[in-house]
Structure 1
């Protein structure tokens, strides 16, 4: 287990077709034995469910004497707006996990439209970490109006000024460098007229 802060993402499910699946995105503070994050419950069957709460809690490490295996006892509470809010809790979880935070079992409850729902003895497993690809920011829309006006009016000085401004602001971006190179080619073409 890591020391300090680490992130873990867990799925909690009883693996029945159409049953709710709880995903916990947790930040674990091993020094204070505190946990905080987001709980999301999704169910695709009728009635559909898309529950979300901010969660907080604590954990304790327990070592089993005969095998020296380490287990984690995890307790979480949650509400839509966090622990300091005056909004009543809408989520609770108690579970026992392996020492690696990757497996175990948990009981949890959540409140949906004023009714508490209970899920008992659901399996805990490591959830895939979602990596969102970075979408390159294209500079063309930022300067498109100025470039179009300069091209329409044939004002070469204005077009050069736009390119110079873009070069100064965005000199280190590869995608933007390509766009600026294309503008420089357009300037050269206009100067050749």
Structure 2
């Protein structure tokens, strides 16, 4: 069991084909035994469901059987706007999880398009937390204004300087190489005058 403040992502599903899948992104405060986060219920089969709610609640530790290590008893409530809003609750969950927050069972209900849906005895498992792919850094050319000014003034030296600068920064991209070739063709055309 972790202590302090930590994030966990868990899923709850009955395992039936076409059944809704609940994903909970939770921030757990072990000092105050409070939980907050978001709940998403997704079902792709007809009638499809794409439900979202801010959730909050608390948990306690319990030893349900003397031969077990213990469990987490989790209780959550939610609505679209958070605990301080005056909007009625649209989500409730009661679950029994392992101390690792990665396994267990939960029953929950949610109100979607005015109708309450009830899901009993869904199996809880750890959901993967994708790490964002690093975005490669590509310099972004901001030469359009400089090129237009050089073309309109006929200042060939300025246009050549802009093109050289672009070539130095962006020579690795095929699309940009093509654009630079077009600029070089424009320089040749201006020089021919």
Does the 8 Å contact 2:98/2:104 carry over to 1? yes
Q: Which residue of 1 aligns with 2:177?
A: none
Who wins on radius of gyration, i.e. which is larger? 2
Q: Which residue of 1 aligns with 2:176?
A: none
Looking at structure 1, the residues matched to 119 and 27 of structure 2 have their Cα atoms a distance apart, in angstroms, of: 23
Looking at structure 2, the residues matched to 120 and 24 of structure 1 have their Cα atoms a distance apart, in angstroms, of: 16
- 1:169-188 equivalences under 5 Å are 178-179=169-170
Q: Which residue of 2 aligns with 1:86?
A: 86
CA distance 1:33–1:178, shift in 2 (3 Å): farther
Does the 8 Å contact 1:13/1:21 carry over to 2? yes
Q: Which residue of 2 aligns with 1:2?
A: 2
CA distance 1:118–1:178, shift in 2 (3 Å): same
- 1:100-119 equivalences under 5 Å are 100-119=100-119
Please give the secondary structure, in 1, of the residue aligned with 2:143.
Answer: helix
1:151 deviates by 5.8
CA distance 1:86–1:129, shift in 2 (3 Å): same
1:102 deviates by 0.5
Q: Which residue of 2 aligns with 1:148?
A: 147
1:113 deviates by 1.3
Output one character per residue of 1:1-35: Cα deviation in whole Å (capped at 9) or x when no partner: 21111110001000000000000000101111000
Looking at structure 2, the residues matched to 93 and 147 of structure 1 have their Cα atoms a distance apart, in angstroms, of: 59
TM-score if structure 2 supplies the norm length?
Answer: 0.77
1:133 deviates by 1.7
1:94 deviates by 0.2
Does the 8 Å contact 1:61/1:70 carry over to 2? yes
Looking at structure 2, the residues matched to 120 and 127 of structure 1 have their Cα atoms a distance apart, in angstroms, of: 19
TM-score if structure 1 supplies the norm length?
Answer: 0.77
Looking at structure 1, the residues matched to 31 and 92 of structure 2 have their Cα atoms a distance apart, in angstroms, of: 23
Does the 8 Å contact 2:18/2:44 carry over to 1? yes
Moved more, 59-68 or 117-126: 59-68
Looking at structure 2, the residues matched to 58 and 65 of structure 1 have their Cα atoms a distance apart, in angstroms, of: 22
Q: Which residue of 2 aligns with 1:62?
A: 62
The answer for unaligned runs of 5 or more in structure 1 is: 164-176
Does the 8 Å contact 2:107/2:119 carry over to 1? yes
Does the 8 Å contact 1:150/1:158 carry over to 2? no
Looking at structure 1, the residues matched to 119 and 131 of structure 2 have their Cα atoms a distance apart, in angstroms, of: 29
CA distance 1:65–1:117, shift in 2 (3 Å): closer
Looking at structure 1, the residues matched to 69 and 23 of structure 2 have their Cα atoms a distance apart, in angstroms, of: 25
